[in-house]
Chain A
Amino acid sequence: MGLGFAVGVFGVLILAHAAYSTIQYRGLLKIMEEEFSGPPMNVVIELLLGFAVCMWAALTVPGNFLSIHPYADENRIVSLPANLDFMIFNHRGKAFPLDLDLKLKH
């Protein structure tokens, strides 16, 4: 999430720089009294780079697709603890000492 977001901001910055270069190019054309026919080569390359970077960010940032099939592997694991019938409290695990501070160590 953090990395993808940073990459997206970087892509927007590349596009902003491309826009700034185009503004400068247009100012140059105004001084030389020529018509604008198309953006210069370095701007086009910059735009392509920015597009690719933003594309990667747009596909990465929102997270992964989740399977919609109820019997897919990922869905099955999630739904098992929701069923209270599978909860067992009276088993041989109570013979072992309880590690109650197990989570605090993390």
Chain B
Amino acid sequence: MAGHNDSNASEKKSNEATNDLPTFNAENMQSNMKIIYYSRTFMSIIGGVIAGILGFTSLTGFIFYFLVMAITSVGLTAKAGFSIHSYFSSWNQIVLDGFLGGLMSFVLFWTFAYDIVHIF
């Protein structure tokens, strides 16, 4: 009996989950993701320039990148008014998306600024 009740409850839950999934407004979600990518790319470029001017090398620079991305995530969360779930389906979208693409821009501008300031 208890098992039957449990299965009923889980079925209800899964039903709710399947009902929840398609109810997101895809257009607005895509627009939100575009905003996230825009902010992250710009912040990684700025972070790269700052790391280059400060003269960071090797591991320090990558730690600096993690720091900048963490600050950007906090900024985006604050922009969403700390109510993530009315704008995004999960935390991963605001914390992780655009991380690797930003790393490429970061390394590019890091070496660029370092070369201009410290080598030439």
Contacts and interface: CB of A to CB of B under 8 A. Distances in A.
Interface stretch (B1-9, B10-18, B23-31): B23-31
Contact of A67 (B47, B55, B76, B86): B86
A58 interface: yes
Chain B interface mostly: helix
Contacts of A57: 42
Contact of A22 (B53, B72, B79): B53
Contact of B75 (A22, A59, A65, A68): A59
A59 B81 CA distance: 12
B117 A26 contact: yes
Identify the interface centre among B46, B80, B89, B113: most chain A CB within 10 Å of its CB: B46
B2 to A, nearest CB: 35
Interface string A1-25: 0000000100110010011001100
Contacts, number: 98
Nearest to B89: A68
Contact of A55 (B53, B75, B80, B117): B75
A61 B118 contact: no
B114 to A, nearest CB: 10
B43 A67 contact: no
